[in-house]
Amino acid sequence: MNQQIACLDQRVRSYSPLIMDTKGPALETINKLADENHSFDIIFLDANKDQYWEYYQVIMDRGLLAPRGTIVVDNALFFGQVYSATRDTNGEGMKTFNENVSRDPRVTTVLVPIRDGVRLIRRDEDMLAKRLAD
Ligand SMILES: C[S@@+](CC[C@H](N)C(=O)[O-])C[C@H]1O[C@@H](n2cnc3c(N)ncnc32)[C@H](O)[C@@H]1O
């Protein structure tokens, strides 16, 4: 397995020096990227759903999503659990995430009901620059 991962790492790196291959808990990685002042036009979320709201807050509050950038969120329906009476921790996390994002005035968002649901979130304006200017 480690050999397969090493081989994949090498292939990923060979595509472009712009590609960073980082391993570790996602919340730590996201905060490290913010510490290094990175900013992205597109961010794809597809990890543990119970921390999505935490990931989102760091992404938005620490400037990781560029102005007019888009976050693409997989499994936004989480196998129907977001609208079911019973759900596990990931289903609960996705429900909370969907509800909170829908109320965030910084973004325009739509849930596309294909397969397991894809939520698209666009940052409407550069709130970070606005905040820094204040
Ligand atoms: C659904 S898979 C992602 C599949 C990937 N998007 C692809 O197309 O190959 C979810 C991945 O997130 C990883 N993951 C889950 N929780 C994580 C966390 N807290 N930090 C980092 N990675 C995590 C899992 O190990 C798994 O590899």
Euclidean distance between the first and final Cα of the chain, in Å?
A: 51
d(CA 11, CA 8): 5
Please choose from 48, 49, 50, 116 the residue to mutate so as to test ligand 1's pocket, defined by most ligand atoms within 8 A of CB: 48
Contact 121, 70 (CB under 8 A): yes
- Residue nearest atom 5 in ligand 1 by C-alpha distance: 46
- Residue nearest atom 24 in ligand 1 by C-alpha distance: 47
pLDDT value at residue 18: 76
Bigger pLDDT: 32 vs 22: 32
Number of the ligand 1 atom closest to the C-alpha atom of 44: 6
Q: Computed from CA positions of residues 31, 35, 38, 40, in that sequence, does the dihedral angle turn out positive or negative? A: positive
Query: Looking at 5-9, 38-42, 43-47, 124-128, which range is the least confident one?
Result: 124-128
Q: Domains of the chain, with CATH numbers?
A: 25-133 (3.40.50.150)
- Residue nearest atom 14 in ligand 1 by C-alpha distance: 47
* 46 ligand 1 Cβ < 6 A: yes
* 58 ligand 1 Cβ < 6 A: no
pTM over 0.85: yes
Give the tens place of pLDDT for each residue, 39-60.
999 999 999 999 999 999 999 9
**123 pLDDT higher than 80:** yes
